[in-house]
Structures are given as structure tokens and as C-alpha cells.
Amino acid sequence: MQRYGWDDIEAAIRQDDTDKRDLTLRTHEMHYADGMLVLPRRLRDEVGARYLPMTDTARGQLLQRIQVPADYEAQVREQGEVALANRMVNHGMSQLSVRAAEKKGQSDSWRLRLRGSTVRAALSEEFSVVDNHDLVDAMYGILVKNVPHQIRSFHMDDTSLWLKFTLDDEYHDPSGSFLKVGGILGNSEVGKRQVEFRPFLYRASCTNDAVYPVAGIRHKHRHIDMSRVQYSLTQSLATTLREGQGMINRALKLLGVKVAEPKEVIAALSKKQGLSKARTLAVVEAFKREPMQTRWGVFNAFTRSAQTLVGDERVSQEEFAGTLINLQRWPAALAA
């Protein structure tokens, strides 16, 4: 895993911000052609393009808002019926304008988030912008002056940002390793997920992470601003600091609960979570690396196997692993 410091993260975000811009326009100013948006004349010089390609995320958001099934639109285009796809989408946009005119308070305005001339998100004007640089700057300001910590990991792609840090306090566990409490900060500038902060547990011997299933914040990108986000981050970090020992203690209780057939329990839990056969096998293989016949061993297998994933997929599996800490009804027929 690449090691990051705050300067590295700032540089990565600054580079990622290159050539980003937002446009606000009404539906009647937009036209869809061959999977792209056609800009009105008033904006072509500013953007330097007439046709705007769209990411899959942006196209999906556009089609969802105008109530056109994305899979069907893609199928029509792939079958060569481009003109039909264009008419279908443009009709959907015109109907959005009609509905907005008929219903007081409903808007047909759009916030298009661009990188260069590519639309990376097609959102309503009600979308509250919380950009990665502002969110990370807020977290930096809270942590650096007040809380001893280390950056655990940093991931950023076209749709999501994830930043993990661990607090310096160590809690030793009976296996001879030690645990730390940390925080995971998440965001999506393109509306794929909420603004998030939640505590997580880090185990040193296997470098596993599990997102703790309670506390933290999740703000939708609606009716929020950075002052509210910063306040929420401060409060959630204070809760994490105050309750860290309790989080550790609840997790360590899994060590004391025997499991007769851990691999079968893993299979049952994986099925419940909807994991693929390949992912389930990866969890079983992770269990074999530290085969403890306890709920802790099963929990550890899910967190260990998550290390082979990145971005949203990794966090999703670490979130599921975290739910096992407080899970009351394990596969009862298989637990000893």
C-alpha cells in the first residue's frame, strides 16, 4: 500500500481538480445526440466545444431524472438505432420541462459537472457541492492541530474519494497484536454517494480495517454547506475519541464465541450480503491464513480479503465486516 502524507493528498487533489468546471442550464437549452449533449451557442466559446461526451455516471443520472431506462437506451444505441435513442431522450427532456411548468416549485435546471469537455455528472440544481479539496481541508484543520494521528490510506477515482486515518492510541488484543481506532472520510463530487465520516477499527498484525457500524455522519448532497459539514466532522471525531475503547471491547467479544464450521458460516454470511462466488472463495482463502474457530476468525477473514479490493468495493466489504461486531443472529445452525 502506498504511503501518503497530507502534502501528497493535497497535491493529488490539486492535480485532479485541473480543468474542472460547473455549468448551470435549463432543460430547454439541452439537446441529446449520439450519446452526447449539445451545448447552446452561448456556452460553446466558454467550454471550447459544441458536443459534450458523457461518462456512464452522468448519462445514467440524466436518464434517471427524465425517466428513461438506461439499459434500454444503451441497448437501442448499440443496435444502431441512434436516431431513435436521440428522440427518446430528447422527448424525455421536453417532458421534464412540461412537468416543471405545470407543477409549482419543480425545477428543470441542471448542474453539469465537467472535466474538460466531458460531463462527469448531470445533477439537479439542488445538488449541494462539497468538493474533495474543501472536505479534506476541513478534516486536516480538525486533526492536525488537535489529534495525534497517521494517514492510513487514500483513494480517489472519477466518482469517489476515501481517506482513512488512525489515531495513535493502541489497544492490545489477546492474539498478541494491537488495534487502533480511526476515521474514514468519504465523498463523491458527482453524487454517487453521500458525504461520510465513520469510525473504523485497524488491526496491526494483518493491517485489516473494519468500518464500525454506528456513529459517524452521512449527509446527502442537499441543503448542506461546508460549515455544517465541518461541525459534524468535529462532533463525530469527538465521539470516536471518547468511545474508542468501547468499540474495541465490543469487537474483541467475538474472540470468545466459538464457531463449529467457519467456512460454512462465511458462505452463509456471503450469500446474505450478495457476494459473488469468487468473492466468497476469497474470504475463505483469507480465513485459511489465520484459521481461528471463532466469530473473530470469521470477522477477520472478511476484513483481510477486503484488502484485495479498492475504492467503493473495499469500503463496502469493510462496512459489512463491521456489522458482524454487533450482529446478534449469526447462522445459528452452524455456530457452536
pLDDT in tens, 174-218: 777 889 999 999 999 999 999 999 999 998 877 889 898 776 899
Q: Does residue 1 or residue 148 have the better pLDDT?
A: 148
Residue 37 lies in a domain: yes
Examine the domain organization and report whether 262 and 246 are in the same domain: no
Examine the domain organization and report whether 136 and 227 are in the same domain: yes
Q: How many structural domains compose the chain?
A: 3
The radius of gyration computed from the CA coordinates of the chain, to the nearest angstrom, equals 23
Task: Say how far apart CA 42 and CA 27 lie, in whole Å.
Answer: 15
Examine the domain organization and report whether 162 and 240 are in the same domain: yes
> 233 Cβ partners below 8 Å, 6+ apart?
138, 139, 142, 185, 197, 217
Out of 252, 282, 313, pick the residue that ends a domain: 252
Task: Say how far apart CA 203 and CA 181 lie, in whole Å.
Answer: 9
Examine the domain organization and report whether 85 and 194 are in the same domain: no
Examine the domain organization and report whether 263 and 299 are in the same domain: yes
Q: Does residue 336 or residue 325 have the better pLDDT?
A: 325
Report, as an integer, the average pLDDT of 263-278. Answer: 93
pLDDT (0 to 100) of residue 4: 83
> 83 Cβ partners below 8 Å, 6+ apart?
none
In the chain, the amino acid numbered 231 is: Y
Examine the domain organization and report whether 236 and 269 are in the same domain: no
φ/ψ of residue 54, rounded to 5: -125, 140
Q: Does residue 277 or residue 100 have the better pLDDT?
A: 277
Out of 252, 279, 302, pick the residue that ends a domain: 252
Please tell me the pTM assigned to this model. Answer: 0.87
Residue whose C-alpha is closest to residue 207's, from 172, 232, 180: 180
Residue 71 sits at the vertex; the CA angle it makes with 68 and 77, to the nearest 5 degrees, is 90
In the chain, the amino acid numbered 299 is: F
Percent of the chain with pLDDT over 70: 97
Residue 99 lies in a domain: yes
pLDDT (0 to 100) of residue 336: 44
Residue 13 lies in a domain: no
Examine the domain organization and report whether 55 and 145 are in the same domain: no
Out of 227, 252, 277, pick the residue that ends a domain: 252
Residue 2 lies in a domain: no
**314: domain range?**
257-323
pLDDT (0 to 100) of residue 334: 44
Q: What is the mean pLDDT of the chain?
A: 91
Residue 275 lies in a domain: yes
Residue 295 sits at the vertex; the CA angle it makes with 289 and 297, to the nearest 5 degrees, is 10
Examine the domain organization and report whether 146 and 87 are in the same domain: no
Task: Say how far apart CA 311 and CA 308 lie, in whole Å.
Answer: 11
Residue 271 lies in a domain: yes
Report, as an integer, the average pLDDT of 163-176. Answer: 87
pLDDT (0 to 100) of residue 333: 45
Q: Convert the pLDDT of each residue in 98-152 to its tens digit.
A: 888 887 667 889 999 999 999 999 999 899 999 999 999 999 999 998 899 999 9
Residue 189 lies in a domain: yes
Tell which phi-psi region holds residue 67, choosing left (phi > 0), alpha (psi between -120 and 50) or beta. left
Residue 242 lies in a domain: yes
Give the β-pairing of 31-33 and 36-38.
antiparallel
Examine the domain organization and report whether 104 and 179 are in the same domain: no
pLDDT (0 to 100) of residue 213: 75
3-state secondary structure the chain: CCCCCHHHHHHHHHHHCCCEEEEEEEHHHCEEECCEEECCHHHHHHHCCCEECECHHHHHHHHHHCCCCHHHHHHHHHCCCHHHHHHHHHHHHHHHHHHHHHCCCCCCEEEEEEECCEEEEEEECCECCCCHHHHHHHHHHHHHHHCCEEEEEEEECCCCEEEEEEECCCEECCCCCEEEEEEEEEECCCCCCCEEEEEEEEECCCCEEEECCCCCEEECCECCCHHHHHHHHHHHHHHHHHHHHHHHHHHHHHHHCECCCHHHHHHHHHHHHCCCHHHHHHHHHHHHHCCCCEHHHHHHHHHHHHCCCCHHHHHHHHHHHHHCCCCCCCCCCCCC
Examine the domain organization and report whether 242 and 265 are in the same domain: no
Enter the C-alpha cell of residue 38.
449539445
Report, as an integer, the average pLDDT of 76-101. Answer: 92
Examine the domain organization and report whether 96 and 163 are in the same domain: no
pLDDT (0 to 100) of residue 22: 96
pLDDT (0 to 100) of residue 313: 92
Dihedral angle at the C-alpha atoms of 128, 129, 132, 134, nearest 10 degrees? -100
In the chain, the amino acid numbered 323 is: T
Answer for the pair 180, 201: CB distance below 8 angstroms, yes or no.
yes
Tell which phi-psi region holds residue 35, choosing left (phi > 0), alpha (psi between -120 and 50) or beta. left
Report, as an integer, the average pLDDT of 261-289. Answer: 93
Task: Say how far apart CA 59 and CA 112 lie, in whole Å.
Answer: 11
Examine the domain organization and report whether 215 and 283 are in the same domain: no
